[in-house]
Amino acid sequence: MALTPNDEIHALQIQAGTLGRKAGHAFEDKITTVINSFQYPIDLEGVKNTHVLTGDPALLLLEYVASSHSASQIISARALSTGALATSEEGKKWLEHNGVPIRRCKSDLLLTLTTDKEGEKTYGISTKQCDNTTPTNAQLYFTTARGFAKLLNDNGLQVSDIAVHAMRQFCGDAGFRPLDKPNQLEDRKSDPRRYFWEEIDPLGRREWETLFTDKQDEITRLLLQKAYLDDPFTPDFLLHKTKKANLWENTEVAIYSIDELISHSRDYSGYSVKPYSVRKGSYRDPAGVTHQAPRFGIVQMQRGGQAQHPEQLQFNLEAGYFYKIKQGRP
């Protein structure tokens, strides 16, 4: 029997239930199923004054979001996994906002919550997950040198052509590589397919370093929230499964509002570089050769280097950042 939607969110929930589950979205799907199966209302026992929590991730997320505005009772909640929609042709046709189709969404979950302190409100939730026994880097944003510059320019952070040129050198764009200038290869000891951070155009590098230093909060927010233009579901919270769990009810997660995470990231560290050497692949560094890996706060930046996307620019969240930054909530 076909269901008649009560509103847009309800319609999306109905649609999501008909799409089938996609690999890679099992965590979000499980949270969605559990939240939608809870019996409400749920009384909150008190605010847990930490970001790293162990228990049922769905319940922990509900409690964290509700307690962020001092609620003592969750009257109702419903959830939708946008990932399953985004990877489905049916979902792409269906998911709209103000009549504009949404192809991509930075929020992996939409959580609609009603509490004793606030009327019905929908929150965007970004999710990360690790299924290793110890935490690993989590990919935050994947783009190109020009794509990253456009993201900043579109949001009021001006990037010059010189800086774009330098970042294209760092990424190894065709025409910007050492191998495109044979006279630079004779004495080169490192990978000829790209320039490393310390090798790129000095003026462009200094511009990036100034941006990462002076606009750290703004850039971190863009990476966490604003990856896509016209995205109506930018994340309000981040839920990160920290490592492999044997039981759902005994899963460790880290939960932050985006504002909290940006603040804690800044307090943890400003812009810096970390020395490293290439020890794998076809172009291993000779002994004594090191390079600079740029980072700001918990965000690390690197050339993607994957076989299918060798020229991409990749931003990661530092492995285990949730154990290293401030634990107490504001």
Query: pLDDT band for position 177 (50/70/90)?
Result: very high
CB 63 within 8 A of CB 254: no
Cα–Cα distance measured from residue 127 to residue 242, given in angstroms and rounded to the nearest whole number: 11
Cα–Cα distance measured from residue 279 to residue 282, given in angstroms and rounded to the nearest whole number: 9
Cα–Cα distance measured from residue 226 to residue 232, given in angstroms and rounded to the nearest whole number: 10
CATH topology assigned to domain 8-135+230-261: Trna Endonuclease; Chain: A, domain 1 (3.40.1350)
Cβ atoms within 10 A of the Cβ of 132, count? 10
Q: What's the chain's average pLDDT?
A: 86
Query: Kind of pairing, strands 100-101 and 96-97?
Result: antiparallel
pLDDT at residue 106, as a whole number: 85
Residue 93 pLDDT > 80? no
Helix 258-268 and helix 216-225, axial crossing angle in degrees, nearest 10? 140
Cα–Cα distance measured from residue 123 to residue 258, given in angstroms and rounded to the nearest whole number: 11
Cα–Cα distance measured from residue 330 to residue 322, given in angstroms and rounded to the nearest whole number: 15
Residues shown for the chain: 330
Q: Which residues of the chain does CATH 3.40.1350.40 include?
A: 8-135+230-261
Cα–Cα distance measured from residue 58 to residue 244, given in angstroms and rounded to the nearest whole number: 16
pLDDT tens digits for 217-237? 999 999 999 877 667 788 999
φ and ψ of 32, to 5 deg: -60, -50
Query: Kind of pairing, strands 237-241 and 73-81?
Result: unpaired
Instruction: Tell me the average pLDDT across 42-51.
Output: 86
pLDDT tens digits for 20-46? 344 457 899 899 999 999 999 999 987
Radius of gyration of the chain (CA): 22
Q: Which helix (H) or strand (E) holds 121?
A: strand 121-129
Cα–Cα distance measured from residue 173 to residue 166, given in angstroms and rounded to the nearest whole number: 10
Residue 94 pLDDT > 70? no
Cα–Cα distance measured from residue 208 to residue 219, given in angstroms and rounded to the nearest whole number: 11
Instruction: Tell me the average pLDDT across 191-211.
Output: 96
| DSSP state for residue 238 in the 8-state scheme | E
